[in-house]
Amino acid sequence: MSELTVPAQAGAPAAESGLMVQAEQVHKSFGHLEVLKGIDLEVRSGEVCCLLGPSGSGKSTFLRCINHLEKINAGSIRVDGELIGYREHGGKLHELRQKEVAAQRRSIGMVFQRFNLFPHMTALENVIEAPVRVKREAKVAARERAESLLARVGLGDKMGNYPGQLSGGQQQRVAIARALAMQPKLMLFDEPTSALDPELVGEVLDVMKDLARDGMTMIVVTHEIGFAREVGDRLVFMDGGVVVEQGNPREVIANPVHDRTKAFLAKVL
């Protein structure tokens, strides 16, 4: 198993600090390409954090590191006070077994650009699958929650439809319901509207706004400036594998401080 050095200032448990996510000096390389160059980021419980930046800036890679879909090369990431992907021993971080990592992922929901639904299963079956298979929930209880979640995302009349019978926006809403079915403490969204036709974007963003109102902790990689401005508690602008600027979304969008942020926003606003 791989080892990492523990960062000098280890994070306090979330219960003490109010932090849901704490990333310290996170580095990630693919071969000789260094994608993340020492990311420090804290997200408080109940906060909506929007990651903004050009393609190749490291946003999606960082998101995937949070639930250990990508292994970091240095630094540490904690979710709700728990080290993700590693255990600490003797001043080193030792990588967890795959089964242990899978157990950690159960409390971290993730929604991808592509919906990744099982095409041979109905919307309802897609949402039920993980709680029954992974958490060994009773099928009756899992079905009740799935029906409630699909109704919540506006698909109460589409439960028996297969993905091929649904629009892109409807499929993405099923994907959100599927992630919520595991009752996560943290939701990660990797450009959830980028694969959608423009007229379908709003229906997915409306579901995400509803989650934010309910206090779900969310980290959202997005190019939807309006969503970041309206819903986000914090906007983090990344470029070249580093955090260039962060702050209140309304303030950063209206009055960016860094020249790189100004140049980017000038092109997308």
The pLDDT tens digits along the chain (269 residues) read 456 665 544 444 444 568 999 999 999 999 999 999 999 999 999 999 999 999 999 999 999 999 999 999 999 999 999 999 999 888 888 899 999 999 999 999 999 988 899 999 999 999 999 999 999 999 999 999 999 999 999 999 999 999 999 999 999 999 999 999 999 999 999 999 998 998 899 999 999 999 999 999 999 999 999 999 999 999 999 999 999 999 999 999 999 999 999 999 999 88
Dihedrals phi, psi of 117, to nearest 5 degrees? -80, 155
Query: Quick check: is 54 in a domain?
Result: yes
pLDDT recorded at residue 3? 61
Query: Quick check: is 114 in a domain?
Result: yes
Q: Are the C-beta atoms of 75 and 23 separated by less than 8 Å?
A: yes
Which single residue is written with the structure tokens 């979710």? Answer: 79
Query: Quick check: is 124 in a domain?
Result: yes
Domain count, the chain: 1
Domain harbouring 176, CATH code: 3.40.50.300
Long-range contacts of 194-197 (CB under 8 A, 24+ apart): 194/113, 194/223, 195/113, 195/114, 195/115, 195/168, 196/168, 196/169, 196/172, 197/168, 197/169
Query: Quick check: is 237 in a domain?
Result: yes
Dihedrals phi, psi of 174, to nearest 5 degrees? -65, -40
| Gap between the Cα atoms of 193 and 112, Å rounded | 9
Q: Is the dihedral of CA 144, 150, 153, 155 positive or negative?
A: negative
| Gap between the Cα atoms of 216 and 209, Å rounded | 10
pLDDT recorded at residue 12? 45
Query: Quick check: is 9 in a domain?
Result: no
For residue 249, what are the domain limits? 19-266
Q: Which amino acid belongs to residue 65?
A: C
- What's the predicted TM-score (pTM) here? 0.92
| Gap between the Cα atoms of 167 and 237, Å rounded | 31
Query: Quick check: is 108 in a domain?
Result: yes
Query: Quick check: is 11 in a domain?
Result: no
